[in-house]
Amino acid sequence: MSAPLPQGPRPAPPSPASTSLTFAWRAVLKFKHVPEQLFDLVMTPIMFTLLFTFIFGGALAGSSTAYLQWFIPGILVQTTVFNTVYSGMGLSTDLSKGLFDRFRSLPIWSLAPFAGLMVGDMLRHTIAGAIILGIGLALGYRPEAGLPGILASFALLLAIGFGWGWIFIVLGLVVRTPMTVMTLGFAVLFPVTFASNIMVDPATMPGWLQAFVAVNPVSLMTTALRALMAGTAGWGEIGRALLAPAILTALLAPLVLWLYRRR
Amino acid sequence: MEMEPAIRARGLRRAFGDLRAVDGIDLDVPRGTIFAILGPNGAGKTTLLRILATLTRADAGEARVMGHDLAHEPDKVRAAIAMTGQFASLDEDLTGRENLVMLARLWGFGWRAARQRAAELLAAFDLSDAARKQVKDYSGGMRRRLDIAASLIVTPGVLFLDEPTTGLDPSARAGVWRLIRGLAAEGVTILLTTQYLEEADQLASRIAVIDHGRKIAEGTSRELKAQTGSGVLHVTPLDPGNRAIALGILGETAQADPEGARLSVPVADDTEAAAHLARLAEAGIRLAEFSLGAPSLDEVFFALTGKEAA
Ligand SMILES: Nc1ncnc2c1ncn2[C@@H]1O[C@H](COP(=O)(O)OP(=O)(O)O)[C@@H](O)[C@H]1O
Ligand SMILES: [Mg+2]
């Protein structure tokens, strides 16, 4: 080992944007080195899609094709919401391994690592969404609004993923083990995604459950996504879908900052 | 220009619940020196280092690092330090090269300069061949080297090293020692922690001994040895029946190894060791074995506190 110290002068400190970009680059590298993670992201939604379409589809909607029209926007919402768990797990892993100690001891914008996480999440949501949509299209799903509907839907999905992502970033910061983050995450997400209008029309549910389904943020997001795909969306539907993500961001982003700095 | 010490800490405290991990520590580390914090597991070494590196907040006390106040100018402190923790702070999924490029970018290097700096460090740390391997496939020694390289992207004013050689084999340990001496020769102040007296003795110009979050002794290696004895004479009587008599001859600072037949006594120098051996010979006690070694951490603790290390 010889002369490890740099010869030249120190570079000027990087801007918050350049720092965030570096963290985003790290997120992209992780996809390159760990492509298996995509498998985890899409396995369950693909199984759900096949199972519900071919086994329950006929009974629920008259035919598999008719059911696909109903189900694909819903499973896209479910996939996005479920996949936010993974960024919390990744964060918990980074924290438990001491990598964030290195980041926190650098003179950089303290939220930059989270900006990088978010970019990784957006990438994850886009790729997983594209795979599910592709399978849907192959099975016969036809969004009436065509490509513009799809693009608008994906924009909404990203906003949803961004908002819900904060829940698991908070969990990732306070829970020590990645597995616990996952268990806690699914314990919350299973009830809210099943007690929604993703799989079935809530008309046949008992009244108290219908009341919950009607205000469940997952239902509101699914309704808006169906409308975007069908080309019938109004601002009211979109606004209601964005309500939960907006509230979550407003409440949890400052909490994340506080938790991160407090450690 | 008045040169403030690299680190000046007064009354640092940090508790975790009822446990006082750091319980009122003062520290002065002159610039350009190697300073060792010596203590057993759980003494509070890591917590102390983390406080000084802005990673853990202190409950009380104050400190200045390279002239910047820890509480009020944490970003200036961060710009002046680097820390290699007890456990690798690397991204296991990325390659060694990608880890260094990422950190160089975070220090403000452009992409091309970042790749250049990463290549220099990989070469200097003998990691060029492993540059494109994911860190999860690195050996313990390679990981430690990369983790130290990651702290040298820019020249730090103070480098914190938390147990830099724990778990390394002797040749890897010698490599890290050479590196630490080289960095100090270039003017980097080094604050390291260790559980080995020999390591502190070999590297550091000053040593603080801590236990239960408190500093129980501080000085140069020579000053500490004056308190603890510079070494330990180990003797094993040929006839185990003679152990009690031999223990009496060696004096009250002598200790008997609870399992083996070995007796140990701290000595100031070789003359004192020879005198002990002569007295044993006079009493007709034949020895199966004798040796002179550096005192272990346990023995230092025993000498300083009169009790075993926690
Ligand atoms: N985050 C923490 N929460 C609770 N206890 C802690 C935490 N960090 C350290 N401790 C406790 O504080 C004491 C000192 O720990 P540490 O500073 O790691 O000692 P050392 O590095 O000398 O082994 C230990 O008893 C340890 O269990
Ligand atoms: Mg420690």
Alpha-carbon gap, residue B151 to B104, rounded angstroms: 10
Please, which pLDDT band fits residue A1 given cuts at 50, 70 and 90? very low
Q: What is the mean pLDDT of residues B130-139?
A: 95
Interval B143-152 mean pLDDT: 94
Distance, CA of A68 to CA of A83 (rounded, Å): 21
pLDDT computed for residue B53 by the predictor: 96
| Of the partner residues B108, B125, B134, the one whose CB lies closest to the CB of residue A33 | B134
pLDDT category of residue A223 using cuts at 50, 70 and 90: very high
- From the candidates A1, A10, A21, A94, which should be mutated to test the interface with B, based on the most B CB atoms within 10 A? A1
- Write down the pLDDT at residue A3: 62
DSSP string, chain B: -----SEEEEEEEEEETTEEEEEEEEEEE-TT-EEEEE--TTSSHHHHHHHHTTSS--SEEEEEETTEETTT-HHHHHHHEEEE-SS--S-TTSBHHHHHHHHHHHTT--HHHHHHHHHHHHHHTT-GGGTTSBGGG--HHHHHHHHHHTT-SS--SEEEEESTTTT--HHHHHHHHHHHHHHHHTT-EEEEEES-HHHHHHH-SEEEEEETTEEEEEE-HHHHHHHH-SEEEEEEESSGGGHHHHHHHH-TT-EE-SSSS-EEEEESSHHHHHHHHHHHHHTT--EEEEEEEPPPHHHHHHHHHSS---
For the Cβ of B195 lying below 6 angstroms from any atom of ligand 1, the answer is no
Residue B222 reports pLDDT greater than 90: no
Mean pLDDT calculated for residue range B63-75 = 95
Does residue B159 have a pLDDT over 90?
yes
Average pLDDT estimate for A39-48: 86
Percent of chain A at pLDDT exceeding 90: 49
Q: What domains lie within chain B, and their CATH numbers?
A: 7-225 (3.40.50.300), 229-294 (3.30.70)
Residue B136 in contact with partner chain A when CB distance is under 8 A: no
- Supply φ then ψ for residue A105, to 5 degrees: -90, 5
Band of pLDDT at residue B1, cut at 50, 70 and 90: low
The CA–CA distances, whole Å, from B287 to A229, B104, B136, B231 equal 92, 60, 50, 19
Residue B41: which residues within 8 A CB-CB, separation 6 or more? B195, B310
pLDDT at A154 over 70: yes
Q: For the segment B178-220, what is each residue's pLDDT rounded down to a tens digit?
A: 999 999 999 999 999 999 888 998 899 999 999 999 999 999 8
Taking only the tens place, the pLDDT of each residue in B234-281 is 999 998 888 889 999 998 888 887 776 889 888 878 888 999 999 999
Residue A230 inside a domain? The answer is yes
Whether residue A162 is contained in a domain is answered as yes
Give the per-residue pLDDT at A202: 87
Nearest CA to CA, how far is B170 from chain A (Å)? 16
CA of residue B42 to ligand 1 center, whole Å: 6
User: Does A6 fall in a domain?
Assistant: no
What distance in Å separates the CA atoms of residue A46 and residue A53, rounded to the nearest whole number?
Answer: 11
Instruction: Measure the CA–CA gap between A166 and A189, rounded to whole angstroms.
Output: 14
Give the number of beta-carbon pairs within 8 Å between A and B.
116
Partner residue facing A1 (CB), from B126, B150, B153: B126
Q: Look at chain A and report how many structural domains it folds into.
A: 1
C-beta atoms surrounding B62 within 10 Å: 14
Is A11 among the domain residues? no
Task: Please indicate, yes or no, if residue A82 is contained in any of the structural domains.
Answer: yes
The beta-carbon neighbor of B124 closest among A2, A103, A106 is A2
In a domain, A45, yes or no: yes
Q: Is the pLDDT of residue A203 over 50?
A: yes
| Amino acid B258: pLDDT | 74
Say yes or no to pLDDT of B143 above 60: yes
- Report the residue among B22, B46, B48, B83 best suited for mutation to probe ligand 1: largest number of ligand atoms under 8 A from its CB: B46
Contact residues, chain B, for A107 at CB < 8 Å: 75-76, 78-79
Q: Determine the structural domain holding residue A157 and report its residue range.
A: 17-262
Asked if the C-beta of B83 comes within 8 angstroms of chain A's C-beta atoms, the answer is: yes
Q: Does B287 touch chain A (CB under 8 A)?
A: no
Q: Does some domain include residue A96?
A: yes
Does the beta carbon of B265 lie inside 6 Å of ligand 1? no
Q: In sequence order, what are the residues at sequence separation of 6 or more whose Cβ sits closer than 8 angstroms to the Cβ of residue B137?
A: none
User: Of chain A residues 48-107, which have a CB less than 8 A from chain B?
Assistant: 94, 97-107
Tokens 């540059």, residue?
B131
Average pLDDT score over chain A:
89
| A198 belongs to a structural domain | yes
Instruction: Give the up-direction half-sphere exposure of residue B264: CA atoms within 13 A in the CB hemisphere.
Output: 19
Residue B86's pLDDT band (cuts 50, 70, 90): confident
Interatomic CA distance for residues B4 and B298, integer angstroms: 35
Q: Is pLDDT above 90 for B292?
A: no
B66 touches chain A (CB under 8 A): no
pLDDT at residue number B309? 52
- Please report the pLDDT score of residue B229 as a whole number: 66
CA distance B300 to chain A (A): 31
Per-residue pLDDT of A45-56, as tens digits, reads 899 889 888 888
Residue contact B91–A262, C-beta within 8 A: no
Output the CA B86–ligand 2 centroid distance in Å.
6
